[in-house]
Amino acid sequence: MSDTLTLAKQLIARPSLTPQDEGCLDIIGAHLTPLDFNLEQMRHGEVDNLWARRGDAAPLVCFAGHTDVVPTGPVEQWDSGPFMPTVHAGMLYGRGAADMKGSIAAFITATERFVAEYPQHKGSIALLLTSDEEGIAVDGTVRVVEALRKRGERLDYCIVGEPTCVGKLGDTIKNGRRGSLSGTLVVKGVQGHIAYPHLVKNPIHLAAPAIAELAATVWDEGNKYFPPTSWQISNIMGGTGATNVVPGTVEILFNFRHSTASTTDELMAKVHAILDKHGLEYDLRWEMSGKPYLTPHGDLVDAVAAAIKQVTGIETELSTSGGTSDGRFIADICPQVIELGPLNATIHKLNECVAVADLDALSEIYYLTLRKLLAE
């Protein structure tokens, strides 16, 4: 077995259901200590975080990821145990194989090789790892970023190992992500008997025209890297459960996935203007779980794209599609953040897997990226 496969299997064998780490960071630390990394454990609540850095000069190249995994689903429906890493027909099976213990293993073996070949490399190398990415993500990467910001520690380049590829390793780099802005809207009416409509105000009826306008609004046109901003309702809750009672309130949960073409302040102002135009009495609570970020062509994108081309022969594509990642937090202290990992076809599914050959190829891509940024 290759070193990358061996390490990936060791990590997969740890049942690190979010937000538990189950010793994964100890395994990783044992690889980093001999390389003269300074290991800093940052535990918050039930979450284990690791900031590991080698060197104190710029530029700083950081690998970022998570050791926690999503629940397995019905264990009996797996062909082999989700925490019993199994290789079959060239594929490594196990929860976290693609998302993202395979990437972490590739981080480590790429770094080990690079440091062995370039012990006096310029700049610094770091790893930022957490066990709180698949969960609510409040005590993980965001906490480490806060600590680094307070002491003025800044990253120059960051590669997040999320599974980004669609059909073949290296075909897609995520060079940005949309922001996520959620709202909890409560429209107020007057509750009463359904047979006496003149004595009630039905909040569902009152809200309907505003909902229609919100759904039809073009918030922006997007830009070169992002699709147009999307507004979607996820839940509507109203009523007492009885068929003869008009409710007094209706609660509407909605979300914006927005591009860099719109700011959160602009989106919030537009929503309030529409609700006010319809004369609604309402309460609206906002929650922003992530700002959009974008890394255009530059040192990092070009280095990773060249490494992919050298290893796979593929001309990679840049994409900002999909949901959020911890890159949204790291972008606050790092001007260039991208995501690159294995294929995402089986993530969060039963029988999650990654091609064994892709693990070694991914390690090679990470190694060449380090070489281009810190040794050439």
Residue numbers annotated as active site: 68, 133
Nearest to 13 by CA among 24, 2, 28, 29: 24
Three-class DSSP labels, 152-168: CCCCCEEEECCCCECCC
Provide the β-strand partners of residue 251: 186, 237
Edge-to-edge strand list for the sheet holding 86-88: 86-88, 91-93, 353-355
Rounded (10°) angle between helices 3-12 and 356-374: 110
Contact, 330 vs 364, CB < 8 A? Answer: no
CA 276 to CA 278: how far, in whole Å? 5
Q: Which residues contact 118 (CB under 8 A, 6 or more apart)?
A: 371, 374, 375
Q: Which residues contact 62 (CB under 8 A, 6 or more apart)?
A: 125, 126, 127, 128, 155, 157, 158, 159, 330, 334
Helix boundaries (H) for 48-122: 102-117
Nearest to 279 by CA among 202, 207, 231: 207
CA 8 to CA 12: how far, in whole Å? 6
Q: Which residues contact 122 (CB under 8 A, 6 or more apart)?
A: 57, 59, 374, 375
Contact, 336 vs 80, CB < 8 A? Answer: no
Phi-psi region of 45 (alpha: psi -120 to 50; beta: other; left: phi over 0): left
What does the DSSP assignment read for 174-188?
E-EE-EEEEEEEEEE
309: exposed, middle or buried (Cβ count in 10 Å: 0-12, 13-18, 19+): middle
For residue 92, what are its two tokens? 């490594």
